[in-house]
Amino acid sequence: MASKFFAVVAGVGAGTGRSVALKFAQTYPVVLLARKPESYNSIVEEIKAAGGRAIGISTDTADRKSVDAAFATIKKELPDQKLAAAVFNASTGLSRKGFLDQTPEDFELSLRGNALGLFNFAQATIPLLLASTSDSPHPPTLIVTGATASVRGSAKFGDFAAGKFAVRALSQSLAREFGPQGVHVAHTIVDGIIDIPRTKAYNVNGGGPDSKIDPGAIADSYWYLHTQPRSHFTLELDTRPYNEKF
């Protein structure tokens, strides 16, 4: 693979992050960011085994210095490559506690892990994406993963929803500021349980096949968003299993 461009995915684990990384690795070298190396090590191996190129960097997106260090490493590791796509998939702060049991730390964890994380990641990637507008194969893209809680504040989800609403706010702002400069910012609303090992036992939507979202389908949707031409940018894409109540 001799792509002049690379992709970076922040927040990789067993679900969306891994699938998106594998998908984009079919075209680009991919940088994987996660706090713990065990979150990305096996994915890096998987990509390499498939003939792709991948780099994992231990990064806490909520920590500015950590993000700056990660992008310094990227610049050293991929000195001649430009950024084609950045995916922010980090998510944290779902305490599932009743409001009066939540602590300020629970609440800040969500605000920082979700919103400040995107802020830091976007400040690192937007300049790189802007620098790619003239020659990238597809419009340079920042895709942000949201959830049901991005558009609905439910009882006991105040902390998580606060972070997710804030992420959506920032995504809209970035789309409106940088879309006219040629960078595609998109926000997805993943409304359902993702089918990963950890959720195998979850009995949702009756429990039949396809009742949980296939992370491979999410990866396909992110690739579709990435390849949209600039005359046709989607800002928001929702997705849910066919039998999800909504």
User: What residues from 80 to 99 belong to the interface with a copy of itself (CB under 8 A)?
Assistant: 98-99
Q: Judged by CB under 8 A, which of 12, 55, 85, 161 binds a copy of itself?
A: 161
- Identify the burial level of 85 via C-beta atoms within 10 angstroms of its C-beta, where 0-12 means exposed, 13-18 middle and 19 or more buried: buried
User: What residues from 209 to 238 belong to the interface with a copy of itself (CB under 8 A)?
Assistant: 210-214, 217-218, 220-221, 224, 228-238
User: What residues from 29 to 68 belong to the interface with a copy of itself (CB under 8 A)?
Assistant: 64
Which residues are CB-neighbours of 98 under 8 A, at least 6 positions away? 155, 156
Task: Considering only the stretches 43-51, 53-61, 74-82, 170-178, report the one whose residues sit in contact with a copy of itself under the rule CB under 8 A.
Answer: 170-178
Q: Please name every residue paired with 9 in a beta bridge, in sequence order, or none if there are none.
A: 32, 87
Instruction: Give me the residue label for tokens 């396909």.
Output: 220
Q: Is 137 in the site for a copy of itself (CB under 8 A)?
A: no
User: What residues from 101 to 120 belong to the interface with a copy of itself (CB under 8 A)?
Assistant: 102, 104, 107-108, 111-112, 115-116, 119-120
Closest by CA position to 87, among listed 167, 160, 157: 167
> Which lies closer to a copy of itself via its Cβ, residue 46 or residue 236?
236
Asked if 130 contacts 140 with a C-beta cutoff of 8 angstroms, the reply is yes
Task: Considering only the stretches 1-9, 16-24, 71-79, 206-214, report the one whose residues sit in contact with a copy of itself under the rule CB under 8 A.
Answer: 206-214
Q: What span, in angstroms and rounded, lies between the C-alpha atoms of 17 and 188?
A: 13
